[in-house]
Amino acid sequence: MGVRQRVRAVASATAGLLLTAGLAGLGAAAVGPGTGWASSHREAPLIAADPAVDNTDVYAFVSPERAGYVTFLADFIPFEEPNGGPNFYPFATDATYNIYVDSDGDAKPNATFRFTFHNIDKRGSDTFLYNNGPVTSVDDENLLFRQTYTLESSFNGAPFKTRITDAPVAPSRVGNASMPDYQKLRDQATVTLPGGWKSFAGQADDPFFLDLRVFDLLYGGDLTEVGQDTLAGYNVNTIALQVPFSDVALGGDAKRNPVIGVWSTTDRPKVRMTGATSPPAPDNGNQVQVSRLGNPLVNEVVVPAGLKDQFNAMSPDQDASVQQLVDRVNDPEVPHLIQSIYKVPAPATPRNDLAEIFLTGLTTKANGPIKADLNSQLNNADVKPDKFRPSEMLRLNLSTPVTAQPNRLGVLGGDLQGFPNGRRLTDDVVDIELQALEGAAQTGKLVDALSKGDGVDANDNQFSGSFPYVALPNVGAVNKGGGTGAGAGNPGEAPSGAVSVTPQAFSSPGMMKGATIAASSVAGAGVLFGGGMWWWRRRRAAEAAGVPAAVPPSVAGVIARGIARDGGIARDGDHDGTHRHPYGDPYGATHGDPYGNTYGAPRGDSYRDPRGDSYGDPRGDWPGDDPTRRF
């Protein structure tokens, strides 16, 4: 297979946006911004450990069914498996979720929409259930855990005004037996506010679509790993808001000043209190920004690992001052990776076209290489050019007519209303960005070899034609009962030396697939169990005598191998409290901290056992010991 044939299947290991025929009428041939692998799902080290405030995607588009209104969507909590009970996926109650709009180009918000959440938890010490019967309304007595939110807004620095309190949050979708008519719950959680605003908060299908196997050496190193929607079946938590143009356009005049810039952030308290049920007042300076998202794919791949956490904490007005960030926009990494693996030459640098897309928007007024006026605030009639500051955000021209038949390639496909002019749910941002990789953004010519992209052209669920547009949450297991765990080899191939222990009845069609157990693993388990029991008895005797018991060599060897395999003791959790939480709370100091402690925490313990126990006991206690005794 030739290089170009192989590249034809490459997906989103990309940089840039190509704006060809769609911009021809604006006097431009092509443009391209940055690089991207996936949207912002676990994109930075610190936020990956705090999914409740991890902003995965931002969308901004003119409302197709409601003239004169714009819709903003911000998604949070990546990779929500539908069966993730019993706690499922609430919004954080000690955080603030923000949507910002910059209409004058100074990289500071002219409009701020602030969401905070509150729990109503009736479970107490009586039950672990999320609901104890069918749920037919958002305030059903059978819904034992639910949330409400408060929405506040501020314009041009004025004090915040409360728009609604105790608004219902659509609950996590437990399943069809528990929630037989989830559409009804969605409708009840969609509220209309004074001024024509509409608001929604709750669970939804993850609307982003792509094949995420790019991290496996760019789609398997030979482009065979494409065509599978990695996010199919997963959910997210969505905040949606619809407001009139006049509320966000500069001076309230969308005809003179149609371009806005949009981004979303989440804030956490500088000092987190375990068990807090509400955030500290956001205005008192006790919160710090921990997640940020404007354009898709930026922090994943444009921003290097050492800068990702800093980028999440930065405000857009700081972007142009961080030379390392500017340098990565002008010379993104992904084209060099493509060249290294597939021998396709990277475009020449500096990529001034990418800097224009990311930092100014498309305009003829910034002396950039793209001669088109599409979506920069500099195109607004009442903007003061000397106040304009280059910054990364998702820019949208409100005056672009709604497309009757949206093209998934947006501007690239001749549809000026699509990405990068805002972002609609159906925009295939991965394939759009792909086209600039091998010089298309510089030459103005589409790259035929990239036409298939990642092979994922649409979401797995249909979007709605009305607010809040996102599909209902998925139900059922993502893996559908399959398995590709660490022990999996080639499909259908048993490990060497394995002995089948599958009863004949389970080998028939429709039943369980054959299971295998390696004899050497059985022997190893016997040694571990025997050594563990010996150690446990010796430990109990030692406790009675008041002296510590030594770890037997067999157990010590297992622990040593586990450390070598997993990279160290308590990688995600720390038993001595010295591993600092990203926002000030020590991982191991608070027994209730979800990220790990000594007492059988779900993600980290002193010996890095996946569930916090010593010898596989699911409760984290010693074999035969009192279940309240933890190592």
Give the global pTM: 0.72
- Percent with pLDDT over 90 in the chain: 47
User: Rounded to whole angstroms, how far apart are CA atoms 326 and 316?
Assistant: 13
In whole angstroms, what is the distance from residue 404 CA to residue 580 CA? Answer: 52
398-412 confidence digits (pLDDT tens): 999 999 999 998 887
Instruction: Determine contact, residues 527/554, Cβ cutoff 8 Å.
Output: yes
Structure tokens at 630: 């933890």
Residue entry with tokens 């059922």: 476
Q: Which tokens hold the place of 543?
A: 């406790």
**pLDDT tens digits for range 130-168:** 999 999 999 999 999 999 999 999 999 999 999 999 999
Q: Is the pLDDT higher at 489 or at 443? A: 443
State the DSSP H helix or E strand holding residue 555, giving kind and residue range, or none if neither: helix 553-566
pLDDT beyond 50 at 480: yes
Answer yes or no: is pLDDT of 317 > 70.
yes
What are the DSSP calls for 25-92, one per residue? Answer: TTT-------EESSSSSS-STTGGG-GGG-EEEEEEEE-TTSTTEEEEEEEEEEEE-TT-TTT--PPP
- pLDDT tens-digit map of 345-394: 788 899 888 888 888 998 999 888 878 899 999 999 999 999 999 999 99
Determine the average pLDDT of the residues in 557-561. 37
Helix axes 519-545, 553-566, angle to 10 degrees: 120
Per-residue model confidence as pLDDT tens digits over 494-519:
333 333 333 333 333 333 333 333 33
Q: Is the pLDDT of residue 286 over 90?
A: no
**546-555 as b/e, with b when 16 or more CB fall inside 10 Å?**
eeeeeeeebb
